[in-house]
Homo-oligomer: A and B are copies of this chain.
Amino acid sequence: MNPIQTLQHQLDTLNLWQGSLTLARHEYLHRADSTDTRLYFVVSGSVRVFILDEAEEQTIRFGYPGSFITALDTFITGEPSDFYMQALKKTTLKFIDKPAYMQFIESNAENVRLWYQLMEQLIFQQIERETDLLTSSPVKRYGRVLQRSPQLFQEIPHKYIASYLRMTPETLSRIKKS
């Protein structure tokens, strides 16, 4: 069982979820300039996280069933966020806020270790992401992400994947064809 599954299982077992909510397609879970220190777990549906760069939406990441998702900047700092989180289809989530989460984490040493592991995993993912974004050829960026997350291309409209891959939908379409 990986750290994410362990965490989810613990939160279920101890009944620590503080609520759940359902969003319609295109509804916002969170908007920039507001704070939100909740940690969300995607039960069904899908979510995208993006920033606004001169009226362009740049995709940061996706959440699908089984993922935790959060506006990580405001989760860490408690300051207003740069992120938007939006449902891509009808989506159900459970959540726990940071104070309750940290109380759970600090309640025993095993949980502290778990949080360590999750942070390490997060850092490692961010390193891979940085490498993706620094890869200059669009074809190679596509290849890297396709290999690492093939399920993405099943679940998510490709125009959002294009933005995640730092290219236009037209370019992604041409790459897929070849």
Interface size on A, residues (CB 8 A): 30
Contact A124 B56 (CB under 8 A): no
Contact A130 B126 (CB under 8 A): yes
Interface: A137 (CB within 8 A): yes
Contact B77 A131 (CB under 8 A): no
Interface: A129 (CB within 8 A): yes
The proximity string for A residues 121-133 relative to B, scoring 1 for CB distances below 8 Å and 0 otherwise, is 0111011011101
Bound form: Cα–Cα A129–B126 in Å: 9
Q: Provide the residues of chain B in CB contact with A30, threshold 8 Å.
A: none
Contact A133 B131 (CB under 8 A): no
Contact B72 A127 (CB under 8 A): yes
The proximity string for A residues 46-57 relative to B, scoring 1 for CB distances below 8 Å and 0 otherwise, is 000001011010
A83 and chain B: residue at smallest CB distance: B127
Q: Provide the residues of chain B in CB contact with A16, threshold 8 Å.
A: none
A19 CB → nearest B CB, Å: 26
Closest 10 pairs between A and B when the two form their complex, measured CB to CB:
A126-B126, A133-B133, A58-B134, A119-B119, A76-B120, A53-B135, A76-B124, A73-B127, A122-B123, A72-B127
* Chain A interfacial positions (CB closer than 8 Å to B): 51, 53-54, 56, 58, 60, 72-73, 76-77, 82, 112, 116, 119-120, 122-124, 126-127, 129-131, 133-137, 140, 166
